[in-house]
Amino acid sequence: MISISAQSEQLMQAFQSGFEQSSFSNGERQIMLHAVEVFSRKGFVGTKIKDIAQSAGFSQGYVYTYFKSKEDIFTRIAALASGGAGRAVRYAAQLRGTAIERIGWLTEAFLSPDSLAMQHWRLMLLLSSATDAIPDEAKRISKERQAEPIEAFIPLIIEGQNEGDVVQGDPLMLALAYFSMVQGVGLARLQTTMPLPFPTAEVVLRLLRKNG
């Protein structure tokens, strides 16, 4: 049984999109922070500049002091968010421990019901659905970074196979299975408000574990 550890907490920080820490001016960060929340509830087209401004406590026109357009806000958010998963995998890869342990910590971070982790999945969803209605630039960036987590995960799988903890098989296919599952759990969590016995990290690891 894997328990929430110091490693997992550090990992979650890497996972999260990092709007807070970024080097923005005050108004800029304030607007970004609220824009993330509104966009993830209403989508790109459904979000009106007025919604973001009101949420952040500014007037509608003030938003244009910091951002050129609605597309601009969205694209900057997409750029920050789409780096999260890859960052988390790279962070996990360089922790000390066996490969399967590190994969376990990573999985806990991904599946955390923490609100910032959930926000990540909401944003990923946004970037995957209604793709003809989101800015091209945002799409480009998110597509560009899409392979990052998978590529960084493959060495971990190979290590795990060499250590005898991970099943044999094409590492790329195993990585895709892993991320499909993790993403699916993230999505499932978003779809319901009821407290249900969602798959734990241990269950997800059954996909990879030898003698699962």
φ and ψ of 171, to 5 deg: -60, -35
Does residue 59 bind its own copies (CB under 8 A)? no
Angle between helix 49-56 and 26-46 (nearest 10)? 140
Binding pattern for the stretch 78-97 against DNA, x by CB under 7 A and - elsewhere: --------------------
Which one of 1-9, 15-23, 77-85, 194-202 is the stretch in contact with its own copies (CB under 8 A)?
194-202
Q: Is 110 exposed, middle or buried (0-12, 13-18, 19+ CB in 10 A)?
A: buried
Query: Interface residues for its own copies in 119-138 (CB under 8 A)?
Result: 122, 125-126, 128-133
Shortest Cβ distance from residue 44 to DNA (Å)? 9
Q: Of these partners, DNA, its own copies, none, which one is at the site of residue 4 (CB under 5 to 8 Å by kind)? A: none
Does residue 191 bind its own copies (CB under 8 A)? yes
Encode burial over 49-81: b for 16+ CB neighbours within 10 A, e otherwise. bebbbebbebeeeebeebbeebebbbbbbbbbb
Contact set with its own copies (CB under 8 A):
40-47, 122, 125-126, 128-133, 146, 170, 172-173, 176-177, 179-185, 187-188, 190-192, 196-199, 203-204, 206-207, 211-212
